[in-house]
Amino acid sequence: MKPTYNLCTVAGSTLGRSHDENTKENISKSKKGTYSEEDNHFYGKTHTLEARNKMVETKLFKALSEETKEKISTTMKGRKLTEEHKTNLSLAKKNQKKISVLDIRTNVETFFDSINQAEKYLNLPKDSIRANLRSKTETPYRGIFKFKVLD
């Protein structure tokens, strides 16, 4: 099949068809400035709380296919995050607990934004830190560290 008008071999699909550089430039020029600020139908508006909740629900319970999971995995592999980015991601977690750690030997108290941060800094297992925080005896961990959750 060698169509004259519709250059796509499959109706409704541009698969296998790519524009040349000149066409791409023309498309880009024609789109510049469109849907910016006042031209955009949603400019100055916000979604209602109900609409936002509906969007969250549809995303939350949508199961990803194995193919999609593999694509996401491939994209994320080898990605390097800065320490600042890692800290920001850590701070964005809702269920993290800020803790203070008192070193009984030196009487120095250190504050951490999360148990994970304390784990990395002190080189201790986070499960042990959590277990010590839950214990009612308040005995120092390894006889050295006293952990306390901050509100």
List the domain boundaries for the chain.
99-149
User: Coil, strand or helix: which one is 5?
Assistant: coil
- Average pLDDT, integer, range 44-51: 92
**Sheet with 108-112, edge to edge strand ranges:** 108-112, 99-103, 145-149
Read off the pLDDT of residues 65-101 as tens digits, 9 standing for 90 and up: 999 999 999 998 988 889 899 888 877 777 778 888 8
Kindly list the distances between the CA atom of residue 70 and the CA atoms of 62, 65, 89, in Å, as whole numbers in the listed order: 16, 9, 23
Q: For the whole model, what pTM was predicted?
A: 0.41
130 within 8 A of 115, measured Cβ to Cβ: yes
Q: What whole-number percentage of the chain has pLDDT above 90?
A: 15
pLDDT for 3? 61
Kindly list the distances between the CA atom of residue 139 and the CA atoms of 6, 133, 134, in Å, as whole numbers in the listed order: 77, 10, 11
- Average pLDDT, integer, range 107-134: 85
Tokens of 143: 């006889």
- Average pLDDT, integer, range 8-28: 81
Tokens of 114: 């999360």
Q: What is the DSSP string of 49-112?
A: HHHHHHHHHHHHTPPPPHHHHHHHHHHHTT----HHHHHHHHHT-TT---EEEEETTTTEEEEE
Per the prediction, the chain carries an average pLDDT of 83
